[in-house]
Amino acid sequence: MGDTRGWWARGRGLAERYPWVVDVGVALLVQGAMTMPFVVPRAAGLAPATWAAYGLTTLTVVPLVWRRRAPLAVLLAILLASMVYKLAVDGPGQPLPYNGLVIVYTIAVLSPPWKRLVCGVLVLIAVPVGVWLNTRSARELTFSAFVFAAAYVFGRLTDARQRAHRIEAERAAARERARIAREMHDILSHAVSLMIVQAEAGPVAVRTAPERAEAAFDAISETGRDAMVQLRRMLGLLRDSEGGGREDDGDALTACASGLAPRAPQPGVGELPALFERVRGSGPEVRYEVVGAERGLAADVGATVFRVVQEALTNTVRHARARTVDVQLAYGEGYLLIRVCDDGVGARAGSGGGGHGLVGVRERAAAHGGTAEVGAGPGGRGFEVRVRIPVVAGVPDATATVTAEEGR
């Protein structure tokens, strides 16, 4: 089944790049169908089919090669050639007007309304004239009108389906751009905030406590490498989605220097202790608590938990001037509550929803059907972020290799 889908996808890609190949194939298929009456022996008393008749039949098919580029001209050419065939030669008839059906379908799919209107007028004239030149029967007139109407309706349905697919693709692209923007914001905002705090403390530490200055520089280096690895993973995914590309040496060196694989998974609950250590190196003490029976989370939920906590801690480092931050994961019946509360200066920029980071927190929660609240902490002190996400038993978070107890 996978191979079939792969062949189908490659075939569609080839057709989109070389549409003339499809048009030639359609013309050959129609020519094959219209050749059948010339192969089957004619009834006794009828003159045998001639090469001249077959040549005129071919002339009614060849214009289909240009059906996308000049559909109305192709329709007129087919009608004219068919009229000459009917009046000039005594050739075999066709069970279906294959060439006419193909061009009507094409016009219904690709052409603007005025061309479709012209097509309808021409068909309304040509069908009765053709029936009058052939059998002059109501049965043939009804059948011809039905098949041409069906070709037009199928064409319009195809156009509607293609439009729906394009709209859905645009919406999916917009959702993906928003997701990438959130990821980029979370990665860069967190890393740059920690690096700024460490860099500002470095000169003071050099004069008073050299060992702390060395630790600060180590933290800056580690934070920068971690941000580079995460950014490289995201850019690699973007390149893969656009058809892939060769890794450049700089990216490969960055991945090797970090000690992580080039395609590391999204961070999850298991990476929270390492995140807390980086934040502790920037000043505030992080206290981590798990309430309730801890259980495995799906990978996307685990990534959301990590990013929510990361953004809340980033805001604390940047704005709060806090000494301690409490992070709590409370596992309830069918939900997970994330609380991040500091003892800093309280409500700050972004708490009303204007900050991109806290907007991203709300979007991440909403993506899982959850809610997010931000504001003053208990008793009006500090700042608190509360996110509630519905969870069900699912695939365990692949990155959860570190227990909550180890991170406390």
Rounded to an integer, what distance in angstroms lies between the CA atom of residue 31 and that of residue 112?
Answer: 28
125: closest CA among 83, 87, 95?
83
pLDDT digits (tens, 9 = 90+) for 357-390: 677 788 888 888 899 998 888 877 889 999 999 9
pLDDT of residue 258: 38
Rounded to an integer, what distance in angstroms lies between the CA atom of residue 122 and that of residue 132?
Answer: 16
Determine which of 38-47, 66-75, 126-135, 346-355 has the lowest per-residue pLDDT on average.
346-355
| Domains of the chain by start residue, with CATH | 2-136 (no CATH), 267-408 (3.30.565.10)
Determine which of 13-17, 37-41, 71-75, 334-338 has the lowest per-residue pLDDT on average.
13-17
Q: What is the mean pLDDT of residues 267-287?
A: 84
222 against 55, higher pLDDT:
55
Q: What is the mean pLDDT of residues 80-88?
A: 87
Instruction: Tell me the three-class secondary structure of 217-259, residue by residue.
Output: HHHHHHHHHHHHHHHHHHHHHHHHHCCCCCCCHHHHHHHHHHC
The whole-model pTM stands at 0.54
Encoding tokens for residue 317? 């480092």
233: closest CA among 263, 207, 199?
263
Asked if 86 and 130 count as a contact pair (C-beta separation under 8 A), the reply is yes
How many angstroms separate the Cα of 160 from the Cα of each of 52, 61, 75, 153, 327?
42, 27, 23, 11, 50
Q: What is the mean pLDDT of residues 283-300?
A: 87
Residue type, 102: V
Mean confidence (pLDDT) of the chain: 78
Rounded to an integer, what distance in angstroms lies between the CA atom of residue 346 and that of residue 382?
Answer: 4
40 against 339, higher pLDDT:
339
15 against 354, higher pLDDT:
15
pLDDT of residue 330: 93
Asked if 308 and 269 count as a contact pair (C-beta separation under 8 A), the reply is no
Rounded to an integer, what distance in angstroms lies between the CA atom of residue 401 and that of residue 5?
Answer: 36
Asked if 394 and 297 count as a contact pair (C-beta separation under 8 A), the reply is yes
Asked if 48 and 42 count as a contact pair (C-beta separation under 8 A), the reply is yes
